[in-house]
Homo-oligomer: A and B are copies of this chain.
Amino acid sequence: MKPDFGYISLSGKDNPRVKELVRLRKERGNKVFIEGTRLCEDALESGVAVDRLIFTEDRKELVSGWYGLFECLKDGCEFMLVTDDVFRKISSTVNPQGVAMVVLEPDIYDQETLALPSDGSGKDVYLVAEAVQDPGNLGTMIRTADAFAFSAVILLPGTCDPFSDKVLRASMGSVWHIPIVKCNNKDDLFVYLNEHGISSYAMHLNGVELDEGNLSLPAAYFIGNEGKGLSEETSSRCDKLLKIPMPGKAESLNAAAAASIMGYVFSRKRD
């Protein structure tokens, strides 16, 4: 027996509601357009606030199953059945899967008070990404921070959109599990870190070789841009510049690889 859900049905490509979806995918504001079974399920499992769920006739049964399974779909979500033609228009992929959602970006950061999320353990770890440009790298970092139960991923200016398709895909659902803090004001961030006794570590090729015994918690560790590394301005304000010991020929590690290694190191430190 299928659970019932009401839906509206759209077939015209010039319908204003369809046009709005196309616009939303491109200039998303605080709404995130998600496409495809896997990415939608990742978000649904985390109980995100779903604004609209768009599907084709082929996907009616799947969506009906979701409706029975996920409570977040019962809280004001609008269901839109569209023709294949309309779906192709709103989709950004070559082979649209016939199901998409508009969800609200999680609102987890209060720029006014700059209260970072904390797990209350006194051993919070924050991963701070500055100008990380590759969506695969950012998604991997978010997934790593989630796997190690860190308190937040903090994004400094220049970092790519954490809710783009590619980041969603690389994060494997982790963007919905761990708070993502977009921080536009570095001054505020460093004031907060200092006031709360959170040690700040810059991963930097001119840093001292990592000695795990010298790390202290709570901690924020900073990873910079893939090509240029951390900016001088940011790294000079951190308590310490650290470098992962590399006895081989490669001059540096991939940004997400370095973030993962340090994630492991800090996670062990919390035991």
Q: Which candidate, A27-35, A61-69, A257-265, is the interface stretch facing chain B? A: A257-265
A77 interfacial contact with B, CB 8 Å: no
Is the pair B148, A248 in contact by a Cβ cutoff of 8 Å? yes
With both beta carbons as reference points, the residue of chain B lying nearest to A148 in the complex is identified as: B248
Copy tally for this chain in the complex stands at 2
Beta-carbon contacts of A160-186 to B below 8 Å, as 1s and 0s?
000000000010111001100000000
Beta-carbon contacts of A245-271 to B below 8 Å, as 1s and 0s?
111111111101110110111011000
Cross-chain contact of A264 among B144, B261, B267 (Cβ < 8 A): B261
Which size class do A's interface residues fall under?
A: 35 or more
Chain B residues positioned under 8 Å from A87 (CB to CB)? none
Cα A143 to Cα B146 with chains together (Å): 24
A147 interfacial contact with B, CB 8 Å: yes
Is the pair B177, A249 in contact by a Cβ cutoff of 8 Å? yes
A149 interfacial contact with B, CB 8 Å: yes
Known A-B contacts A150-B248, A246-B148, A261-B261; A143 and B178 likewise in contact (beta carbons under 8 Å):
no
Cα A94 to Cα B13 with chains together (Å): 32
A244 interfacial contact with B, CB 8 Å: yes
Is the pair B248, A147 in contact by a Cβ cutoff of 8 Å? yes
A200 interfacial contact with B, CB 8 Å: no
With both beta carbons as reference points, the residue of chain B lying nearest to A142 in the complex is identified as: B250
A136 interfacial contact with B, CB 8 Å: yes
A235 interfacial contact with B, CB 8 Å: no
A140 interfacial contact with B, CB 8 Å: yes
Beta-carbon contacts of A85-122 to B below 8 Å, as 1s and 0s?
00000000000000000000000000000000000000
Known A-B contacts A260-B261, A261-B264; A250 and B146 likewise in contact (beta carbons under 8 Å):
yes
Spell out A's residues near B (CB within 8 Å): 136, 140, 143-150, 170, 172-174, 177-178, 244-254, 256-258, 260-261, 263-265, 267-268
5 residue pairs from A and B, CB less than 8 Å apart = A149-B249, A172-B252, A174-B249, A247-B267, A257-B257
A150-B248, A170-B254, A177-B250 known; 9 new pairs, CB 8 Å cut-off, are A140-B254, A143-B254, A146-B250, A147-B248, A149-B249, A174-B249, A253-B260, A257-B257, A258-B260
